[in-house]
Structure 1
């Protein structure tokens, strides 16, 4: 996160807000009943980062939404792990969907 802050794209508060929001939403998608292969989650995280970055930039009346969107993309990439995304596309993961431990626990409870 220090690297993104060093680019002077957005403030530390905006950076923290985007990072927490992207992480929370990505984790919620992971444990939800949405059947999405884990190999796509880094890309979902990057898209969420851009959207949340644009939203935060708009709400803060930033003059350059481009900078906010780009910072959101970088935060999303860092949150999910850019390497993980490339590994998934390159075939490093199984394409078969398997429930996580959290999803199995939810199924047992409900």
Structure 2
């Protein structure tokens, strides 16, 4: 769905932060959650996901650490910071405002 992808693309970091608000997580788990929440209508490309992780970590919005799995591949977990929580709240408020404005602009008057 290219239209959905175009609309969602600018919100990748906020989507990741929203997932991390609840608990630390790793890339595959976050992407799986996105797919489940959207009934498999949206999936982040791996490159997009990990680029967003790098930007968020460089900006101090998340931190990362290696998990302690005893089997399988080692996982890199991500944790939201206080700065990340503030960014999430700000982005969420901006999204609410943008939704309201877009609705006003594209709805046909009655």
Please confirm whether the aligned pair reaches a TM-score higher than 0.5, indicating the same fold.
no
Q: More strand by proportion, 1 or 2?
A: 2
TM-score by length of 2: 0.36
TM-score (norm 1): 0.36
Which structure would you say has the larger RCO, counting Cα contacts within 8 Å and 6 or more residues apart? 1
Greater share of helix:
1
